[in-house]
Amino acid sequence: MKITPILTQLRDHCPGLANQVAVGVDLALLQSNTALPTPSAHVTPLADLASPSTGQNATRQAIRDRFVITLVLDASDGRQALEQLESLRAELWRALVGFKPGADYNPIEYDGGELVSLSATRLFYQLRFFAEFQLGRNLASQPAETWRERELDGLPSFTGVTVRVDAIDPADPNLKHPGPDGRLELTFSGDVTQ
């Protein structure tokens, strides 16, 4: 999932963060950075989970893209930090739950949260979210998403068929074994029109 729509959504709809929204790559790095503004939110892609394909002759996999938002709060006043945490969690839910981060994605859902660390000066709290999309296209007119779809797109178009029938019955009495005698009893063709 692209991270820019998430960042934009948080900046536009979370006034309690005062535009202090960034990409957070590593939790240990965030925790060691004493210059981080508070409050601030740091968005980090977490993982993607794939379910088995539901298609029999095509790929149809649900992919769950997960990401985490780490809130960094000033914890010098513990009561105030916990109050602010509750307010910011509610803002994040209002901004993200139900938001579609891309045309191919289902709306974002909340996956839980937890306190990561609490010291005399900083509180770190992580909230996990996810959005799902389907790997494998629905229509042949859509761009290929898998190798099999790309391979099928490279085949020539189906324009028609010719069928030649050599029937087994009635059997030719001149042959020792009944079966096709090599003479065509029926031939027909069909053209595909679009």
pLDDT at 171: 63
Per-residue pLDDT averaged across 27-36, rounded?
A: 78
Q: Where are the domains of the chain?
A: 4-135, 158-191
Write down the pLDDT at residue 44: 92
Residue type, 56: Q
pLDDT at position 31 over 80: no
Listed in sequence order, the residues at least 6 apart from 107 whose beta carbon sits closer than 8 Å to its beta carbon are 97, 98, 99, 100, 131
Task: Look at residue 28 in the predicted model and tell me its pLDDT.
Answer: 78
Q: 85 vs 37, which has greater pLDDT?
A: 85
Architecture of domain 4-135: 2-Layer Sandwich (3.30)
Per-residue pLDDT tens over the stretch 75-112: 888 888 999 999 999 999 999 999 999 989 999 999 99
Three-state DSSP at 47 gives: strand
Q: What is the mean pLDDT of residues 10-29?
A: 87
Pairing of strands 21-23, 40-50: parallel
pLDDT digits (tens, 9 = 90+) for 133-143: 999 888 878 88
pLDDT in tens, 141-194: 888 888 888 888 888 888 889 999 887 766 666 766 666 777 788 898 888 876
Q: What integer pLDDT is reported at residue 67 of this predicted model?
A: 95
The whole-angstrom separation of Cα 38 and Cα 119 is: 14
* CA nearest to 133, candidates 192, 80, 59: 59
51 Cα distance to chain centroid = 11
**Residue ranges in the chain assigned as alpha helix (H):** 4-13, 27-32, 78-96, 147-153
